[in-house]
Amino acid sequence: MAILAVGRGRALAERLFYTGVAGAMFVAVFLGFARSFFLRPWFPDVPAAPEPVFFVHGLLFTAWLVLLVAQPALVAARRTDLHRKLGWVGAGLAVAMVALGTFGALVAARRPTGFVDVPIPPLQFLAVPLFDMALFATLVGLAIVKRRNTQSHKRLMLLASVNLLAAGIARWPFAMMQAGPPMYFGLSDLFIVALGAWDLASRGRLHPVTLWGGLAIVVSQPLRLVLSGTEGWLAFARWAVGLLG
């Protein structure tokens, strides 16, 4: 009985951790996009993307975060049947997010004014969202492949979501965000640190997904910034934007 009680307590702690982290991610994104998307009618003077595609983009990415919060709650409520069904909804949602996220990035890069509230030349900054989409697709794809391995699956889904956080955190209405990429990438990486801390507390060591997935995200952040200024990248960016006509 004591072993059973310990097992139940560990499972409860795990569900609370994943639900709590997902909730914190939602708050981080809401704070960043509150003025330009979620609470837009109350902040009409705040710059926002004018194209309708970005409204759909925002809805899709919000739905993803809601699903991230709901999934562990369904497991806690013993609705694993609904959890699995929504998992396939999430897979379809991820495909739509990658497609629309890539298209939206190209639309923004084609604007004469570039990305909203981003002082970096648009073709150069295009590396940031395109890397986000590529890494998100890779992590979610691996999560689908590993869906029967619960511990790997949930970590991959969490890391895929962490990979998208910098866009919201970069728009927090605080002066410290003027520090640029080191600040908003660093703050988003704290969620990887939290996952690592959970691994050490619950397993005594880092899970391989946490180690290698987290490392891939962290290494990609300075890499995309370095790559974005190269002639090779700028030539590719011009070609990609030119596909829109």
pLDDT for the residue 2: 43
Q: What is the pTM of this model?
A: 0.92
User: What pLDDT is stored for residue 1 in this prediction?
Assistant: 47
Give the model's pLDDT for residue 75.
72
The residues of the chain scoring below 70 in pLDDT are 1-9, 76
Burial 150-172 (b: 16+ CB within 10 A, else e): ebbbbbbbbbbbbbbbbbbbbbb
Token pair recorded at residue 28: 């981080």
The CA distance from 70 to 213, in Å, is 23
Count other C-beta atoms under 10 Å from residue 216's C-beta.
Answer: 14
**Whole-number pLDDT of residue 159:** 97
pLDDT of residue 186: 95
Residue 32 CB contacts under 8 Å (≥ 6 apart), including other chains: 167, 168, 169, 170, 171, 172
Distance from C-alpha of 212 to C-alpha of 239, rounded to nearest angstrom? 32
Which pLDDT does position 9 carry in this prediction? 64
Structure tokens at 97: 């997010």
pLDDT at position 8: 60
**Which backbone phi and psi does 146 adopt, to 5 degrees?**
-95, 25
Instruction: Return d(Cα 144, Cα 119) in angstroms, integer.
Output: 37
* Cα-to-chain-centroid distance, residue 219: 16
For 74-96, how does the pLDDT look when each residue is reduced to its tens digit (9 = 90+)? 776 777 777 788 888 889 999 99
